[in-house]
């Protein structure tokens, strides 16, 4: 997957090129307004780039929708549908018969921690459970690529760490290509194979940081010197980007 | 009660230091949380019935003793006699059916057309922007003032009453439904599009179910408006209907019949309101499933 994106009229994004190999877990990290969401919208076909292209499996997919699974920070579950019927939304839109879609979704709901919630309405679910449902909806959309825009941003620390383990399990089972946006440096390192650090004004890529920590990763890996070294480098980059943005503004 | 005791005991030491240093702290007035006690349901109903009975009795006595002019005010006994006559010898049922028919037809037509109109604004922002001033004009227009014109165009029959009832309801439905359309979360739409949805799919699976609560919320308002429309239509020109009965009775100084027709009309209004409230509840439950 490659995209080159020259700046729009507001220079939301400087030219950025990302090439993401299949089956990888990569993260975009950077301050607010660095264009992470713009990149996602362009890849998902919800925004026409002022220049540049999106290639998926070598095919030009610029401006086409329904090619990637896209999960926004809000779970956006439909309150008038049960969890099960929310999860199959993508399949339903793609024209899979309802019963077939439900049959496919049910075992997944049960295996991935939503057992007993299948026929409840979203308002009966906790924040973590709702995010699970939203993630399964993205997964069941059945594209090779999943774009996750700060999916755990609104969760409390403990739920967040559960959800990270859960996401890694899901990723291991399905082998999807995941592009993950977050503000949380530790989260990005813990989850990813590779991180892209971004900066603002205009939104641009500053550095690519590989995370060579072996998988499966234990929680305690966050205390290892290797992890801390990556974290330090990452935070330095973010602080510098922040400083230069302030100077520019002044 | 023991709680009360402790709170008083707790208040006393508070007062003492305040009195010792009056410049620093003002002495606070001790207030209790106001508590309202609910009457038992039986007592409430008894009082309500009592007031009604007393009012009727007062009316009867006042008319009998000449405190008020019995010719203009009529009296409960006459009203009752006329009520019996209206239903046995008069055309009560024809009138009820006529008014009921035009109200329901206007209600259904106005609500359905208005909701569809409101939903249609989702399809094109330009179309919605162009239509806006017309909608607001039509909404602020006193539509009843145009009733004589409507009678001229649609004739003396049922059609003109239905037309007025529709005119009154359609705009409320349209504006409320449009408010629903505008409240739609654009992220929700983006989610649908990211899943490769067509506009029709977004409309059917997102816009319509999202706006349903808005559509339903106007039902009760609309049934009242539709009835008003039907009655005004009958006032202006009609062969049948409760509105026509009231107007006719007033013109012939049959005040008892004015009261009777008004009473029947109110009963009809309450019945329809109750039916629509029930429908609303059923629909709301339906949405959840």
Question: pLDDT by residue (tens digit) across B2-44?
Answer: 444 444 444 444 444 444 555 567 788 889 999 999 999 999 9
Q: What is the CATH number of the domain that holds A17?
A: 3.40.50.300
Contact B190 A72 (CB under 8 A): yes
Average pLDDT, chain B: 88
Statement: residue B202 has pLDDT above 90:
yes
Please tell me the predicted confidence (pLDDT) of residue B120.
95
ipTM: 0.87
Statement: residue B154 has pLDDT above 50:
yes
User: Are A79 and A153 in a shared domain?
Assistant: no
* Min Cα separation A141/chain B (Å): 7
Of A142, A159, A180, at which residue does a domain stop?
A: A142
Contact between A71 and A132 under an 8 Å Cβ cutoff? The reply is no
Statement: residue B55 has pLDDT above 90:
yes
SS (H, E, C) chain B: CHHHHHHHHHHHHHHHHHHHCCCCCCCCCCCCCCCCCCCCHHHHHHHHHHHHHHHHHHHHHHHHCCCCCHHHHCCHHHHHHHHHHHHHCCCHHHHHHHHHHHHHHHHHHHHHHHHHHHHHCCCCHHHHHHHHHHHHHHHHCCHHHHHHHHHHHHCCCHHHHHHHHHHHHHHHHHHHHHHHHHHCCHHHHHHHHHCCCCHHHHHHHHHHHHHHHHHHHCHHHHHHHHHHHHHHHHHHCCCCCHHHHHHHHHHCCCHHHHHHHHHHHHHHHHHHHHHHHHHHHHHHHHHHC
Please tell me the predicted confidence (pLDDT) of residue B10.
44
Q: Up-side HSE of residue A105: CA atoms within 13 Å toward CB?
A: 33
Contacts of B213 in chain A (CB under 8 A): none
Contact A93 B288 (CB under 8 A): no
Please tell me the predicted confidence (pLDDT) of residue A25.
92
Contact B194 A45 (CB under 8 A): yes
Paired with A60 in beta bridges are: A55
Instruction: Output the tens digit of pLDDT for each of chain A's 250 residues.
Output: 455 555 445 666 778 888 888 888 999 998 877 788 888 888 888 888 888 888 888 888 888 888 889 998 889 999 999 999 999 999 999 989 999 999 989 998 988 888 888 899 999 998 888 988 999 999 888 888 999 999 888 888 888 988 998 899 889 888 889 999 998 888 999 999 999 988 877 777 888 888 888 888 888 888 888 889 899 998 888 888 777 777 776 6
User: Are A15 and A111 in a shared domain?
Assistant: no
Of B185, B201, B288, Cβ closest to residue A93:
B201
Report the range of poorest mean pLDDT among A39-43, B15-19, B83-87, B138-142: B15-19
CB atoms within 10 A of CB B73: 15
User: Are A112 and A179 in a shared domain?
Assistant: no
Closest residue by Cα to residue B187 from B179, B178, B195: B195
Of B185, B190, B197, Cβ closest to residue A93:
B197
B191 Cβ under 8 Å from any chain A Cβ: yes
User: Are A226 and A185 in a shared domain?
Assistant: yes
- Identify the closest residue of chain A to B212 by CA–CA distance: A80
Domain count, chain A: 2
Closest residue by Cα to residue A149 from A249, A72, A226: A72
- Identify the closest residue of chain A to B190 by CA–CA distance: A46
- Sign of the CA dihedral with B148 first, then B149, B154, and B159 last: negative
Contact A90 B187 (CB under 8 A): no
Query: How many beta-carbon contacts under 8 Å exist across A and B?
Result: 50
CATH placement of domain B86-288: 1.10.3720.10
Dihedral (Cα; B173, B175, B181, B184), 10-degree rounding:
-110
* Min Cα separation A78/chain B (Å): 8
**Which residue, among B194, B201, B208, would best test binding to A if mutated, counting the most A CBs under 10 Å from its CB?**
B194
CA distances, A33 to each of A53, A242, B154 (Å): 21, 11, 61
* Min Cα separation B169/chain A (Å): 27
Contact between A146 and A69 under an 8 Å Cβ cutoff? The reply is yes
User: Are A162 and A138 in a shared domain?
Assistant: no
Contacts of A121 in chain B (CB under 8 A): 288
Length of chain A as a residue count:
250
Q: Up-side HSE of residue B217: CA atoms within 13 Å toward CB?
A: 13
User: Are A111 and A225 in a shared domain?
Assistant: no
- Identify the closest residue of chain A to B285 by CA–CA distance: A80
- Sign of the CA dihedral with B218 first, then B224, B228, and B234 last: positive
A136 Cβ under 8 Å from any chain B Cβ: no
Statement: residue B249 has pLDDT above 80:
yes
Q: Which structural domain range is residue A107 located in?
A: 75-142
Please tell me the predicted confidence (pLDDT) of residue A61.
84
* Min Cα separation B210/chain A (Å): 8
Closest residue by Cα to residue B178 from B106, B125, B220: B125
User: Are A79 and A192 in a shared domain?
Assistant: no
φ/ψ of residue A54, rounded to 5: -115, 125
Distance of CA A232 to the CA centre of its chain: 23
Dihedral (Cα; B224, B226, B227, B230), 10-degree rounding:
160
**Which residue, among B195, B214, B215, would best test binding to A if mutated, counting the most A CBs under 10 Å from its CB?**
B195
Q: Where are the domains of chain B?
A: 2-73, 86-288
Of A142, A168, A188, at which residue does a domain stop?
A: A142
User: Are A89 and A61 in a shared domain?
Assistant: no
B209 Cβ under 8 Å from any chain A Cβ: yes
Closest residue by Cα to residue A111 from A75, A79, A140, A91: A140
A142 Cβ under 8 Å from any chain B Cβ: no
User: Are A49 and A151 in a shared domain?
Assistant: yes
Please tell me the predicted confidence (pLDDT) of residue B76.
93
What are A65's two structure tokens?
């929708």
Of A97, A127, A142, at which residue does a domain stop?
A: A142
Please tell me the predicted confidence (pLDDT) of residue B245.
92
B133 Cβ under 8 Å from any chain A Cβ: no
Contacts of A87 in chain B (CB under 8 A): none
Contact A76 B209 (CB under 8 A): no
Per-residue pLDDT band for B53 (boundaries 50, 70, 90) equals very high
A202: alpha, beta or left, given left = phi > 0 and alpha = psi -120 to 50? Answer: beta
- Identify the closest residue of chain B to A45 by CA–CA distance: B194
pLDDT above 90 as % of chain B: 74
* Strand runs labelled E in chain A: 2-4, 17-19, 25-29, 54-56, 59-60, 69-71, 145-149, 177-182, 194-199, 204-210
Dihedral (Cα; A209, A215, A218, A220), 10-degree rounding:
-40
Per-residue pLDDT band for B98 (boundaries 50, 70, 90) equals very high
- The whole-angstrom separation of Cα A247 and Cα A249 is 5
User: Are A96 and A215 in a shared domain?
Assistant: no
Contact A76 B187 (CB under 8 A): yes
User: Are A114 and A224 in a shared domain?
Assistant: no
Contacts of B188 in chain A (CB under 8 A): 76, 78
pLDDT above 90 as % of chain A: 22
B14 Cβ under 8 Å from any chain A Cβ: no
Contact B196 A78 (CB under 8 A): no
User: Are A80 and A64 in a shared domain?
Assistant: no
Contacts of B205 in chain A (CB under 8 A): 89, 92-93
List, for residues B219-245, the tens digit of each pLDDT value: 999 999 999 999 999 999 888 999 999
């Amino acid at each position: 997957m490659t995209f080159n994106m020259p700046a729009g009229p507001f220079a939301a994004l400087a030219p950025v090129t990302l090439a993401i190999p299949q089956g990888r877990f990569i993260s975009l990290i950077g301050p607010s307004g660095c264009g992470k969401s713009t990149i996602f919208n362009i890849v998902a076909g919800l925004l026409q780039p002022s220049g540049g292209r999106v290639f998926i499996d070598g095919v030009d997919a610029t401006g086409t929708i329904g090619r990637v699974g896209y999960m926004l920070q809000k779970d956006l579950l439909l309150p008038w549908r049960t969890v099960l019927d929310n999860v199959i939304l993508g399949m339903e839109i793609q024209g899979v018969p309802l019963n077939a879609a439900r049959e496919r979704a049910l075992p997944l709901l049960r295996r991935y921690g939503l057992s007993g919630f299948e026929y409840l309405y979203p308002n009966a679910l906790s924040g973590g459970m709702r995010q699970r449902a939203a993630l399964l909806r993205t997964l069941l959309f059945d594209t090779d690529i999943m774009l996750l825009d700060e999916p755990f941003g609104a969760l409390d620390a403990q739920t967040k760490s559960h959800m990270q383990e859960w996401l890694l399990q899901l990723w291991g089972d399905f082998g999807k290509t995941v592009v993950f946006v977050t503000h949380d440096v530790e989260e990005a390192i813990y989850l990813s194979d590779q991180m892209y650090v971004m900066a603002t004004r205009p939104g641009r890529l500053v550095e690519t940081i590989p995370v060579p920590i072996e998988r499966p990763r234990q929680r305690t890996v966050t205390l290892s010197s290797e992890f801390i070294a990556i974290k330090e480098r990452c935070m330095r980059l973010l602080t510098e980007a922040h400083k230069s943005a302030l100077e520019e503004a002044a | 009660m023991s709680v009360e005791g402790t709170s008083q005991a707790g208040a006393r030491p508070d007062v003492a230091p305040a009195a010792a240093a009056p410049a620093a702290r003002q002495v606070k007035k001790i207030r209790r949380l106001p508590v309202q006690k609910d009457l038992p349901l039986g007592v409430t109903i008894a009082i309500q019935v009592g007031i009604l009975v007393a009012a009727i009795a007062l009316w009867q006595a006042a008319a009998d003793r000449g405190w008020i002019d019995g010719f203009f005010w009529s009296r409960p006994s006459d009203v009752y006699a006329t009520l019996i006559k209206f239903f046995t010898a008069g055309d009560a049922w024809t009138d009820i059916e006529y008014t009921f028919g035009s109200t329901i037809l206007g209600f259904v037509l106005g609500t359905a057309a208005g909701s569809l109109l409101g939903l249609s604004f989702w399809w094109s922002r330009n179309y919605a922007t162009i239509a806006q001033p017309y909608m607001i004009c039509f909404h602020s227009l006193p539509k009843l003032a145009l009733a004589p014109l409507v009678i001229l165009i649609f004739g003396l029959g049922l059609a003109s009453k239905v037309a007025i009832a529709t005119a009154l309801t359609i705009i409320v439905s349209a504006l409320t439904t449009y408010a629903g359309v505008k409240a739609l979360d654009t992220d929700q739409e983006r989610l649908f599009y990211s899943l490769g949805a067509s506009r029709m799919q977004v409309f059917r699976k997102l816009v319509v179910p999202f706006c349903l609560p808005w559509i339903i919320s106007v039902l009760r308002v609309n049934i009242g408006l539709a009835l008003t429309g039907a009655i005004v239509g009958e006032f202006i020109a009609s062969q049948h209907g409760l509105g026509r009965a009231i107007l006719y009775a007033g013109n012939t100084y049959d005040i008892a019949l004015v009261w009777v027709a008004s009473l029947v009309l109110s009963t009809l209004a309450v019945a329809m309101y109750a039916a629509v409230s029930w429908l609303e509840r059923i629909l709301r439950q339906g949405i959840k499933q």
